[in-house]
Amino acid sequence: MTRFTAFLCGLIFGLGLVIAQMSNPAKVLNFLDVAGRWDPSLALVMGGAVMIAFIGYRLIRRPQVPVSDPAFEPQPTAPIDARLIGGAALFGIGWGLVGLCPGPAIVALGFGRWEAALFAAAMAAGIVLYDRVSRLILPSDSPAPDCTNPDGVPGRLASAPRPR
């Protein structure tokens, strides 16, 4: 993907977050508060996104080559394990407590929101803490996640066949 295409995708994503008010923690917290001041409007945002993606996948034939990259790069799959479930739980708890997740927090930083700055600092501290703790817990010879293509070659997956 070219830098311009990546920039454009990020810009559109960020604009969508602002328009949908996903970068407003109060809006998100009201959506999550189903027993109190519930605001269902973000469910409409999710429903709209799912509907557009569904229609898009049905109408557009998959091209043989991506528009902005030399080849498709299928992602390796990993099993659902305790780390994945624990990470998802922490993500959900954090989102429910403060009304921000990483994408909207970055967008909210652009508006100078102190909550977003605090969230980003806590997120960075958590990343560093995880890195340090995992180095202590996991042995240095523990295998990395399997990121090999079907040919057994580690790294980029450009040579992997595209699933039909």
CB 102 within 8 A of CB 123: yes
Could you write out the DSSP letters of every residue in 64-132? SS-SSSSS--PPPP----HHHHHHHHHHHHHHHHHS--HHHHHHHHTTT-HHHHHHHHHHHHHHHHHHH
Evaluated on CA atoms 163, 143, 81, 128, the torsion sign reads negative
Mean pLDDT of the region 129-137: 85
pLDDT of res. 99:
87
pLDDT band for 141, please (50, 70, 90 cuts): low
Q: Could you count the other beta carbons within 10 Å of the beta carbon of residue 20?
A: 19
**Distance between CA atoms of 48 and 35, rounded to whole angstroms?**
24
Give strand pairing partners of 148: 154
Stated pTM of the model? 0.62
CB 14 within 8 A of CB 111: no
pLDDT in tens, 97-120: 888 888 888 888 888 888 889 999
Q: Which residues contact 70 (CB under 8 A, 6 or more apart)?
A: 158
